Structure 1
Amino acid sequence: MGVATLDPGARILVLDDDVEDAEAAAGTLRDADFRADSLSDNAAGLTVDSFLADVCAGYDALVCDHVLSRDRRFGFTGAELVSRANQRTDRPLPAVLLTSHRGTDQTGSISRWLSGIPAVVDKPELTDGIVPALDYTVRELRGDFSEERRCFLTPIEVLEVFTTGEVKRARVVVVGWHMQKSVWMPLEPALAATGLNAAQMEGRWLEAKVNCNAKRPDDLYYRDITIAPDLPEDWFTS
């Protein structure tokens, strides 16, 4: 699975439904000797796959804001687009997510796709953060994971399930991350992977590959989720 190196002169598409923010990000990339185009126009009717195949054709990388719903211009979030771009099987497109919404209600909709998002840049830190984020994304797509993004198999205890609100989620204990602290886990990937419904999920033990060296719970991602085998009764006391 080849990933192009982002040499000076690489073509980068910046997508943001705010025209000024899109051009500001593109200007930062041009200052770093990339060829950057900004896009804020209507993409109504385009799916993620068609956007990647049609609009992103010919580009070497993508920088995308998370919230693209203003005036219904886009039918997907930036997190979904970035994740799908990085995980394309034929030709991954290195993609970085921009957001002003870390630590807000939008965090949940980002977490849903975080396994495919190597780097998230807070918009206030765009000027200094965007180029290093692109560099790291290319490295991770080649298999060079940072310590905080490297994942390994761990048990997960599902404490509660919440199906209301914009993003369905579960309060869980990720044993490999912290055995005494619960965190929020996006629910839909677990439901899809296990075949369980929300009512069946509560109280279950799962297994997943998780980046347990992440410093913040919002940076945890989950891959290869399965129903865990039954644990010995004395597992926590032995």
Structure 2
Amino acid sequence: MKVLDRPLQPGDPVAIIEDEAVNRRATGWIVEEADFTPVPVSRIPASLDELFAEIEDKAVAVLCDHRLGRGGNVSYYGAEVVARSNRRKIPAVLLTSYANSDENSSIRRWRSDIPMLLSRGADTAPERLAEAFALAGEECRGIYSEARRPYRVIVRIQSCRYGPEGVVAECVVTAWQPRTTVDVPASMITECLNMPIERLVGKRLSADVNIYSPTAGELYFSDFKMGPGVPSGW
């Protein structure tokens, strides 16, 4: 795919990655209303490399559903597609009906490279899609809004529990909202620290977090490390 050094323009081809035909058609109409050219991907390959090879030279941007494995052998989520596309400097937007249910789990894992999450139905106006692509394009060119800029801060693991998609760590980010817990997939933390999440409960870690995010769903976390210990006497 061609890496753009400019904002998307009317007529630019946008790959639509959606496993359900009815949603693929509906998404194509939204893309057309936003003045882009829809390029539907009717077959979702088993691997991400195959997927990007499928749309290579056909599109300059990506619009992707989140849950792609229905009725097939796809092992990845759309959030990973969008994140990897944006890392490649190909503007990509995530559009899903499961924004509310998945934003703290499978979407959170990739949120640092998903500039804007669109909820199917509520956010499907062409103007919102154009706004999302503009934001993705800016981040691909290294321009970040204050709400998306990461800061190195302390994250405390308050507790952990089992959720629908595995163990979830309930975290407190004092620099964001000190009285609010935020769900983070425990594997995001344990993969960085090589330590069971149970041993990290009560510990203070450091991580890159966009602390000026207006909502918990838009928070992202990356690069967890052990934080400073609590001074004696506290």
TM-score, normalisation: structure 2: 0.89
Change (3 A) 1:23 1:181: same
Q: CA deviation at 1:208?
A: 0.7
Give the equivalent residue in structure 2 for 1:7: 9
Change (3 A) 1:42 1:56: closer
Give the equivalent residue in structure 1 for 2:176: 177
CA distance in 1, matches of 2:141, 2:30: 25
Alignment counterpart, residue 18 of structure 1, candidates 17, 20, 25:
20
Q: CA deviation at 1:200?
A: 2.1
Give the equivalent residue in structure 1 for 2:120: 123
Deviations, residues 156-199 of structure 1 (Å, cap 9, x unaligned): 11011235531432001111111122111222121111121222
Change (3 A) 1:137 1:180: same
Change (3 A) 1:234 1:221: farther
- Size of the aligned set, in residue pairs, is 228
CA distance in 1, matches of 2:85, 2:102: 24
Quick check: 2:18–2:64 contact (8 Å CA) kept in 1?
yes
CA distance in 2, matches of 1:105, 1:61: 23
Give the equivalent residue in structure 2 for 1:97: 94
Deviations, residues 107-159 of structure 1 (Å, cap 9, x unaligned): 41111111111111111121231111001100112222122111211101101
Deviations, residues 65-92 of structure 1 (Å, cap 9, x unaligned): 111121125221111111111113xxx2
- What pairs with 1:9-158 in structure 2 (closer than 5 Å)? 9-43=11-45, 46-52=46-52, 54-58=53-57, 59-88=59-88, 92-105=89-102, 107-124=104-121, 125-127=123-125, 128-158=127-157
Change (3 A) 1:42 1:142: closer
Moved more, 102-111 or 124-133: 102-111
Counterpart of 1:116 in structure 2: which amino acid?
D
Moved over 3 A (4+): none
Moved more, 196-205 or 221-230: 196-205
What is the root-mean-square deviation in Å for CA atoms of aligned residues? 1.9
Quick check: 1:17–1:73 contact (8 Å CA) kept in 2?
no
Q: CA deviation at 1:42?
A: 4.5
Identity of aligned residues (%): 28
Counterpart of 1:84 in structure 2: which amino acid?
R
In structure 2, stretches of 5+ residues that fail to align are none
CA distance in 1, matches of 2:102, 2:13: 33
Quick check: 2:189–2:197 contact (8 Å CA) kept in 1?
no
Quick check: 1:109–1:167 contact (8 Å CA) kept in 2?
no
Change (3 A) 1:183 1:32: closer
Change (3 A) 1:18 1:205: same
